Amino acid sequence: MPRFIKKSLKKAGSAPGTLVHVGDKRSDAVAISVMDYDTDFLRERKIDAIAEVFPLRDSPTTTWIDISGIHNLDLIEKTGAHFGIHPLTLEDVVNTGHRPKIEAFDNYLFIVLKMLQYDPDREQITSEQISLLLGPHWLISFQEVSGDIFDPVRERIRKGRLRIRNTGCDYLAYALIDAIVDHYFHILEKIGNHIELVEEAVTENPEVDILQTIHSLKSEVIYLRKQVWPLREIVNHMSKEDSDLIKESTHLFLGDVYDHVVQVIDTIESYRDLLGGMLDLYLSMQSNRMNEVMKVLTIIATIFIPITFVAGIYGMNFKNMPELEWGWGYGMAWLIMVVGAVCMLVFFRKKKWL
Amino acid sequence: MPRFIKKSLKKAGSAPGTLVHVGDKRSDAVAISVMDYDTDFLRERKIDAIAEVFPLRDSPTTTWIDISGIHNLDLIEKTGAHFGIHPLTLEDVVNTGHRPKIEAFDNYLFIVLKMLQYDPDREQITSEQISLLLGPHWLISFQEVSGDIFDPVRERIRKGRLRIRNTGCDYLAYALIDAIVDHYFHILEKIGNHIELVEEAVTENPEVDILQTIHSLKSEVIYLRKQVWPLREIVNHMSKEDSDLIKESTHLFLGDVYDHVVQVIDTIESYRDLLGGMLDLYLSMQSNRMNEVMKVLTIIATIFIPITFVAGIYGMNFKNMPELEWGWGYGMAWLIMVVGAVCMLVFFRKKKWL
Amino acid sequence: MPRFIKKSLKKAGSAPGTLVHVGDKRSDAVAISVMDYDTDFLRERKIDAIAEVFPLRDSPTTTWIDISGIHNLDLIEKTGAHFGIHPLTLEDVVNTGHRPKIEAFDNYLFIVLKMLQYDPDREQITSEQISLLLGPHWLISFQEVSGDIFDPVRERIRKGRLRIRNTGCDYLAYALIDAIVDHYFHILEKIGNHIELVEEAVTENPEVDILQTIHSLKSEVIYLRKQVWPLREIVNHMSKEDSDLIKESTHLFLGDVYDHVVQVIDTIESYRDLLGGMLDLYLSMQSNRMNEVMKVLTIIATIFIPITFVAGIYGMNFKNMPELEWGWGYGMAWLIMVVGAVCMLVFFRKKKWL
Amino acid sequence: MPRFIKKSLKKAGSAPGTLVHVGDKRSDAVAISVMDYDTDFLRERKIDAIAEVFPLRDSPTTTWIDISGIHNLDLIEKTGAHFGIHPLTLEDVVNTGHRPKIEAFDNYLFIVLKMLQYDPDREQITSEQISLLLGPHWLISFQEVSGDIFDPVRERIRKGRLRIRNTGCDYLAYALIDAIVDHYFHILEKIGNHIELVEEAVTENPEVDILQTIHSLKSEVIYLRKQVWPLREIVNHMSKEDSDLIKESTHLFLGDVYDHVVQVIDTIESYRDLLGGMLDLYLSMQSNRMNEVMKVLTIIATIFIPITFVAGIYGMNFKNMPELEWGWGYGMAWLIMVVGAVCMLVFFRKKKWL
Amino acid sequence: MPRFIKKSLKKAGSAPGTLVHVGDKRSDAVAISVMDYDTDFLRERKIDAIAEVFPLRDSPTTTWIDISGIHNLDLIEKTGAHFGIHPLTLEDVVNTGHRPKIEAFDNYLFIVLKMLQYDPDREQITSEQISLLLGPHWLISFQEVSGDIFDPVRERIRKGRLRIRNTGCDYLAYALIDAIVDHYFHILEKIGNHIELVEEAVTENPEVDILQTIHSLKSEVIYLRKQVWPLREIVNHMSKEDSDLIKESTHLFLGDVYDHVVQVIDTIESYRDLLGGMLDLYLSMQSNRMNEVMKVLTIIATIFIPITFVAGIYGMNFKNMPELEWGWGYGMAWLIMVVGAVCMLVFFRKKKWL
């Protein structure tokens, strides 16, 4: 279950705050993109050295530093030192096995989220950790790999939409979280479609490997639930936070995200119930079908066994078998057999087995 | 599972407050009906342009604007602008995938409810979102399609029933919610009758497709539960709200609705338990019946197999089979077979398999 | 499931406080019995017109008005008007589908309880709603049908037992609730005895219809649970109520009732567990027994099938079958068959199938 | 289920505080043993008349009155009157069907506990109610039958162990509760050993009556749980009680008992899980074993049925059957049969059924 | 279930604080290792007599006394006396059956933890109790057997890592707890790998003993859960403790451990779900496979039984069987048999049983 336990397996007992990258070793450069803006002003660039953005820490404009790739520990340590990030936070940024959480520090909020993707080939959900550091005038986001999930937010900033340009870092953080949660709905939709297909298949044309499909859908839903569940408390906490870092006006928007998260969790729970019910239905129908087969087959066998016995009797070679000599012996044997079969059928019919 | 996830699948990350209509594209006009009344006075009309009612916003009379159809985004935006509705609220009004919720804003309460209908043809519950905006002297209700659910309330207003004419918008909101919750009981009754029929069928005349009926009833109950559960908290919240928008005198009536909601939820839970029990009972009875069939049939087969073997023995054509020559050989063969069969029967009877 | 949903199916949306009698239309007169007493004084009578007791409302003596029958809406409305009862309360009194609840009003407490009876013929629990209105010096109890459940309380009042004569309406309410809860134990005892009989039957002499008995016992326990569960909170609430209507000294007695209610609920939960376990046990034992039957029967068949084949071989009529000519051919055939059967038996024995 | 509901079935509605002994009528005398001690002083005696100890009520020494037998209602009423015990408490003392509970009165604490015994013959847990009345300088314990459970505590008092002689009634109450809880571990150990034996039997040598053993172990665990669960809250309540009756210094010891109770409950829950898992395992293994049997047997039958058919063909007596005349006809028949059987075996092997 | 209940089975009712060693009698010496350090200074040694460290109690340096082995009761009593440890604490130190817990005393915190090991041979988790006594300047740790779990912490102290040398006893306690919790992840990883292997086996190559493997994995997960669950509350309690013994600065680190514990518990719950699902999947697949076998086999049998009957008919020896004389009689018999078999096959095919 590597998916279920991804915590860094560093030597137990090592000091906290030790940065150890977890995951595949990667050598590609880390992509750093910076957006610095206020209502009237926007400067967007991609930089190579993190030190270029250090001066922006104290500028009153909103600065969003998006770091894609967490395998460059040196860069992360430097950033941490400059922005006054606690070593434990940095450890959590690079250790991607954490469950979603929020932690308040004196000068920043630390939020761990999970970006989920549905891999259509393996029919599996993959999870990527996204860490947000929300300071007074800056927001640093760390992604494991660079993706396009935040592009719509960038687009809104570029377009100069009033609210996002006016409202500062906390609203930006909200926009990013909202983008992530919105993406969950796409995954739910894909899984929901899959469940619908499977449900039709169960009632109409069940095949044997449907069992494994139901099982793996259940595993995905369990996995999804584990990733999303803690988010509820996080967003609730943020939307009620009395911190200086989150302005009153943003609470309303966070409340909206909270509703979405609750809706996601509700839907996950409904999926669990539906999948459980489908498994029961599949098994019950299989068993019913099987029983029907067995019943008819056994009845056929049972009718022929006694009359075959009669045939066997008169196949015996005893010298002295008077019936064999009778002219109407053969007819009588047929009569016995037909009457026996009919009696059996009537008995079965009366017992309602037919 | 389109029913379980109806959230607008707008591009993840787009700005909040963007109005996007979810559902089938519709071109028919939106029906707007307005009732403006106080104790002595009532004016009821159907209007075409929403602007006609704007002056009523500040009049001290109670104004109920009922808008059937949410596909005219322009109308909704205009209404929102005039009545000071937050963009997030408007987004939620048109986005019909929300779970029931209540949100307090400075100048109004926003309540999302689900109007449920039991579609007798498809044996499925359909859900329609109803949004209420409760202001100081006005109440705006949005329905997805125009229905007759609020007609009894209109009738009460027309008849000049004292309480509803005297008590203002909050009581009107209560009356609408009460009408919706009362309708849930009709659905529960229909489902309950269906369950009762199925239960009888299970114990008396089970057929194979009863399994699917039980399964689909369970799905409906899960769906119903998802729609009704959040209502409990909403009504509880309203009945304890210390807002200016809900008067003390209305709390008692909301408490009454709360009791009804709890009763609905209780009944849903009982239905779940009953359906679970019925499935178990059906499967157990099927299995019992099957076992009985198999037992009798197998016993018949088992009795005849050994005696058929005896017949087979004396059907052999060996030259030298002394028994065949004996005059009483045939009788002896019969004796062996009858004794064998009787022994078998006695053995089965002793083992209580018969 | 009429038992599970008995709410009045009045037209959804009708005004609250509308009195609509639910249940069979009845034309028999409503029985009103009045007990008016204090420490030294007791006056008991049966009256026809409710107006006769109106003067007692303000007398300092304790007045208990017991109204058996709630189909006379006029009487109930008059009573409500005189004693200052809220219309919603009156609606709840006649609408017998409510779950147990308690509601505090300015001048009285409204308590809804369920009187349960175990109908031995239908093996079903029937429920009757009992409403108590507890005022400062009066207590009005409404029963659906007149029963003997309150007779012991009446007897205690008549006998002049000190506590009940001294302590006023709240203690009287306690005594009535206690009588109802005590009756639950009788029902539990009856169900418990039934469960015990069924458990014996399961392990000793299971018959097919035991399944339906277990199922219907489970339904009864679910029903019982739904009726009793809310009582816990009601009595707890009363025993901690800081109202003027319930004196400090009565709290202790209510605490005692609370213990009994918890005990009832505990027992119900244990019954659920036991019935669930019994169903599992029955099914497992059935399946075990079935398996045993099938195994022995199949083994018999399997031993005879190969040796019957041998007999079949030598029953063939080929001209050229050397074995048939051999003098010891017949003996050899027997040998083959016996050795085959013995091998099979040894094999089965070794596999531990015998 | 007499074990699950032992409440006195006195006439419902009778007055509270009525003493009615529940259980077998007994005529043997009630044993009263008294220990009166402080640090330096100990007087122990068995008395016949309860009045002998009445003077000790007000003495500053610690007085422990242990009354074994609760069928002498007169004695209990006298004791109650002298020590100022509430009638409801006395009712609870003699009514042994109560669940464990604690109640604080002005001048004493009333604690109801369950002494459990594992009856090795009937493999059943029996329960005996123990009531403790903890006053300022006296502690009265009521047992249903006299047992040796408190002997170690008596021994400690006799030996003059410092803590128990110094610390007064509350510590004595703790010591008694601790003795009772410690005894639970013995029962858990016995049940645990039984479970271990059964688990071995399930995987190694399952017999049919193991089902009933698992079922009855489950019933015992349900029963145990019902008896022990309320104790958690009781001890927790005592260890946090701010009453004069329980000294600060005793809280720590009660906390220790609380840990033990939680451990008992934990173990009970684990037993439930284990027994549930064992039942599943047993049934699955039975079903697997059965399937294996059926498969092999059916395969044998299936191989022989077609070839027996071939033998049957050439056992027919048609005049005109050319094969019968052929010299190599018999060999050919054998060939067909052997090839058929081998094909069948290969097919089964390919399908992995063998 | 010795693993589930390890409480000392001392005579019930014996005095609290009695030290009784639980477990195998051991005669080897107890290993005592002492580290005494502050920022600049470190003295590490192994000692034989506990009295050697007594002077360090009052020194301002951080003193860590690690005692491996709890069978030397004399040593533990001496230590307790010198450091002012409550007798109940000492009892809990030697009684290794306790569940994890934390207790605050005036001068120290007492923490009971479980060190878990996965025994690869027996595929079983073994548990060892670790007790921490956290005083103002000293920390005493008791282990049942000496292990290497704390070595990394020792290493960090030796290396003079700043934080651990600067921050005192509470941080040391955190480091030890963190080391223990980190070790849990190793166990989870091992179990997770095992589960993954079993899951593959279930879907690809299920064997009969996989059932027992799943069962024993479930038992291990239940055991693990019982050991880890209480830790959540303990660490939460510590991280919010307002005691002098735990400094503000350490709270953050304890919060980090808390996250890890929650992650462990989450993973355990997911494992439970997965194992439950796997068992269902295995059983369903077994049953499916079995059904497939049975169906094909029964069909073969059913086709041959009627046609064997035909062969039996014409094997009868009646004198007067006209068909036997016909020239084309044999061909006709074959025709009947082939047509019969084909009809049967068509019927089965139409019924979709083939």
Mutate to test the interface with D, among E229, E304, E325 (most CBs of D within 10 A): E304
Which residues have C-beta within 8 Å of that of residue B302, sequence separation ≥ 6?
B344, C297, C300, C301
What DSSP designation does D11 have? P
Pick from A116, A136, A5: nearest CA to A59: A136
**From the CB of residue C336, how many other CB atoms can be counted at a distance below 10 Å?**
16
pLDDT at C27: 65
Terminal alpha carbon distance of chain D: 50
Pick from A255, B143, B289, E281: nearest CA to C286: B289
pLDDT digits (tens, 9 = 90+) for B233-288: 888 888 877 777 888 888 888 888 888 898 899 889 888 888 888 888 888 888 88
Q: Per the CB < 8 Å rule, is C12 touching B179?
A: yes
* Secondary structure element (H or E) that encloses residue C42, with its range: strand C42-47
Q: Per the CB < 8 Å rule, is E15 touching D156?
A: yes
Q: Which residues of chain C neighbour B315 with C-beta distances below 8 Å?
A: 311-312, 315
pLDDT digits (tens, 9 = 90+) for C134-185: 998 899 999 988 777 888 888 888 887 667 888 888 899 999 999 999 889 8
Q: Per the CB < 8 Å rule, is C297 touching B292?
A: no
pLDDT at D63: 92
Q: Which residues of chain D neighbour E216 with C-beta distances below 8 Å?
A: none
Distance from CA of C257 to the nearest CA of B (A): 24
C4, pLDDT greater than 80: no
Compute the distance between CA of residue D155 and CA of residue D144 in angstroms, rounded to an integer.
21
**From the CB of residue C335, how many other CB atoms can be counted at a distance below 10 Å?**
11
Distance from CA of C135 to the nearest CA of D (A): 22
Q: Which of A7-11, A318-322, C81-85 has the highest mean pLDDT?
A: C81-85
Q: Per the CB < 8 Å rule, is A315 touching E320?
A: no
Domains of chain C: 31-284 (3.30.460.20), 295-350 (1.20.58.340)
Residue B113 three-state SS: strand
Mutate to test the interface with E, among D200, D256, D287 (most CBs of E within 10 A): D256
C1, pLDDT greater than 50: no
Distance from CA of C158 to the nearest CA of B (A): 38
How far from A343 is each of A231, A337, C36, CA to CA, in Å?
Answer: 69, 10, 78
CB D31 within 8 A of CB D159: no
Going by pLDDT thresholds of 50, 70 and 90, the confidence category of residue E161 is: low
The string of DSSP codes covering D181-233 is HHHHHHHHHHHHHHHHHHHHHHHH---TTHHHHHHHHHHHHHHHHHHHHHHHH
* Secondary structure element (H or E) that encloses residue D40, with its range: none
What DSSP designation does C125 have? E
Query: Amino acid letter at B246?
Result: I
| In the block, residue with structure tokens 């770091």 | A67
C310, pLDDT greater than 60: yes
pLDDT at A28: 72
C209, pLDDT greater than 50: yes
How many CB pairs (< 8 A) connect B and C?
Answer: 168
CB E275 within 8 A of CB E196: no
Tokens of residue E342, six digits = 């084909």
**From the CB of residue A346, how many other CB atoms can be counted at a distance below 10 Å?**
11
Q: Which residues of chain B neighbour A286 with C-beta distances below 8 Å?
A: none
Q: Per the CB < 8 Å rule, is B1 touching A301?
A: no
pLDDT digits (tens, 9 = 90+) for D259-279: 889 889 988 988 888 888 888
Q: Per the CB < 8 Å rule, is B305 touching C308?
A: yes
Going by pLDDT thresholds of 50, 70 and 90, the confidence category of residue C18 is: low
Compute the distance between CA of residue A274 and CA of residue B216 in angstroms, rounded to an integer.
10
pLDDT at C161: 65
Among candidates A189, A256, A318 on the partner chain, residue whose Cβ is nearest the Cβ of B314 = A318
Q: What are phi and psi of C43, to 5 degrees?
A: -130, 120
Residue B117 three-state SS: strand
How many CB pairs (< 8 A) connect A and B?
Answer: 169
Torsion of CA A280, A281, A286, A288, to 10 degrees: 110
Nearest CA in chain B to C225: B270
How many CB pairs (< 8 A) connect D and E?
Answer: 167
Over range B2-7, report the average pLDDT. Answer: 53
Over range A51-67, report the average pLDDT. Answer: 88
Over range B3-24, report the average pLDDT. Answer: 58
Q: Per the CB < 8 Å rule, is B12 touching A274?
A: no
pLDDT at A20: 67
In the predicted model, residues of chain D with pLDDT beneath 70 are 1-18, 20-27, 120, 161-162, 208
pLDDT digits (tens, 9 = 90+) for E67-122: 988 888 888 889 999 999 988 888 888 888 778 888 888 889 999 999 888 876 77
Which residues have C-beta within 8 Å of that of residue D106, sequence separation ≥ 6?
none
pLDDT digits (tens, 9 = 90+) for D4-35: 555 444 445 566 666 766 555 666 778 899 99
pLDDT digits (tens, 9 = 90+) for A234-272: 888 888 777 778 888 888 888 888 988 988 998 898 888
Over range C316-341, report the average pLDDT. Answer: 88
Going by pLDDT thresholds of 50, 70 and 90, the confidence category of residue A7 is: very low
Nearest CA in chain E to D164: E15
Share of chain C above pLDDT 90, in %: 14
Terminal alpha carbon distance of chain E: 50
- Which of the other chains make 3 or more beta carbon contacts under 8 angstroms with chain B? A, C
* Secondary structure element (H or E) that encloses residue B151, with its range: helix B151-158
pLDDT at A40: 84
Compute the distance between CA of residue C81 and CA of residue C84 in angstroms, rounded to an integer.
5
Compute the distance between CA of residue D322 and CA of residue D313 in angstroms, rounded to an integer.
12
C133, pLDDT greater than 90: yes
Q: What are phi and psi of B8, to 5 degrees?
A: -60, 130
Nearest CA in chain C to B186: C9
| In the block, residue with structure tokens 């880390």 | A30
Over range B34-41, report the average pLDDT. Answer: 88
Among candidates E4, E16, E208 on the partner chain, residue whose Cβ is nearest the Cβ of D178 = E16
Compute the distance between CA of residue B146 and CA of residue B141 in angstroms, rounded to an integer.
11
Q: Per the CB < 8 Å rule, is A305 touching B305?
A: yes
Distance from CA of C144 to the nearest CA of D (A): 19
Distance from CA of D82 to the nearest CA of E (A): 30
Tokens of residue E247, six digits = 């400094």
CB B102 within 8 A of CB B91: no
pLDDT at E140: 94
Query: Amino acid letter at D306?
Result: P
Tokens of residue C262, six digits = 């918890």
Q: How many Å separate Cα C271 from the centre of its chain?
A: 11
pLDDT at E341: 92
Mutate to test the interface with D, among C64, C141, C254, C273 (most CBs of D within 10 A): C273
Over range B88-107, report the average pLDDT. Answer: 85
Q: Per the CB < 8 Å rule, is C152 touching D324?
A: no
pLDDT at C8: 45
Over range A334-352, report the average pLDDT. Answer: 89
